[in-house]
Structure formats: C-alpha cells, structure tokens
Amino acid sequence: MDAEFLSDGTVWLSPPAVSDIDAITALCQEPSIGAWTTMPVPYHRADAEKFVYDIVGPGWAARSPTWALRGAADGPVVGMIGLSPLYPRRDDETAEIGFWLSRTARGAGLMTRAARLVSTAGLDPAGLGFERLEWRAFTGNHPSAAVARRAGFRYEGLIRGGGVQRGVRRDIWVAGRLRSDPRTPSPDWPADV
C-alpha cells in the first residue's frame, strides 16, 4: 500500500519522515507515553531512527500503516497512530489500532478525530479493507479508553495478563469495531473504564 495522507481539516495524518526523528525523540520523553505503551524507556534518538527506518516504511508495504498526527498540514508531529495486523497467521482481516499523543496536544479532541479517520480508512473495503479493528490498552488507561469509545469501538472486556510491557505481564482492556458498526460513540462501556 502506498503511503496515505488523511485529514478532516483539523488534524492531518501523514507517514512519519526522517525529518520527524528529533521531534519523535523529544515527545517520547513524556513519562505518560512510556507508561502506557511498549516503547523503550528511556527512549533514545536511535529508537526513533529504528522506528522510522525499520517499522514505518516496511509497515506501509505490509498493510501495517503508521501516521504522524499534526495540527496543521505542515505542522510538527504531536502524536502517532497506526494499525497493525493482530493475528497475521490466522486472521488477515483484523488489525489493532494504537496511538499516543503529546501532553501539550491533549484535551482538544485531536486523537479522537485521528482515530475516526484511521478507523474509516482501515475498515474501507476499497482502502485497507480490514473487517475488524481492535483497541487494546493496559488497564487504567482511561484517556485511551475515552478515545476508543468516542471513535465507535465497543467494549468487549478484560483479558487477564493479556499484554507484556517491558517484561511484565499486565491485564488489558479490549474493544472492537466492525465494518458494519456505526461510527458514533459507543454507549455500552462500563463506568470504570
């Protein structure tokens, strides 16, 4: 798949480029990003280089796209969002959505907008063509859960010990969105998620 640019006029999504490496490195120093992701902590410039060179480019070629989130078409990176096949040997039609956002960009609805754009592109039969998208987060990541809920993901439950973060097995929440699901916020999430 060729790199795709997405925008709704408020957020702009484009493949992260070599020119973004320093910004990615700086943003990933934010403790809350490392706390909820599996990225290396501490995060070094070499990690950002590996991400751009070894994950982003090959990912686009393998139906695993990553976008840098920007607040303007030519603006700096403020977050990251992507899709990756969840069960590549068993189910080529399911992908996991993952994202993070810088502290300074939070609270303006940018990631919800980005998640809606990426979900639409991911589920489009003429686009990436996935039939199901899955959101997963370590338990306690309420901001991520709020984005998933607003982007139309249906809460499906808790997977005990379902994720590993830097060698520690952790419980995860899971939600899904099918191609046939409405694009509206999902009302059936537990109050404590």
- Condensed to tens digits (0 to 9), the pLDDT of residues 124-183 reads 999 899 999 999 999 999 999 999 999 999 999 999 999 999 999 999 999 999 999 998
Q: Is the peptide bond before 88 cis (omega within 30 degrees of 0)?
A: no
What does the pLDDT read at residue 90?
A: 84
Give the gyration radius of the chain's Cα atoms: 16
Q: What is the DSSP letter of 56?
A: I
- Condensed to tens digits (0 to 9), the pLDDT of residues 90-127 reads 888 999 999 999 999 999 999 999 999 999 999 999 98
Segment (H or E) for 25: helix 21-27
158 to each of 95, 141, 175, 183, how far by Cα in Å?
Answer: 18, 13, 9, 23
In angstroms, rounded to a whole number, what is the distance separating the alpha carbons of residues 188 and 190? 7
Global pTM value = 0.95
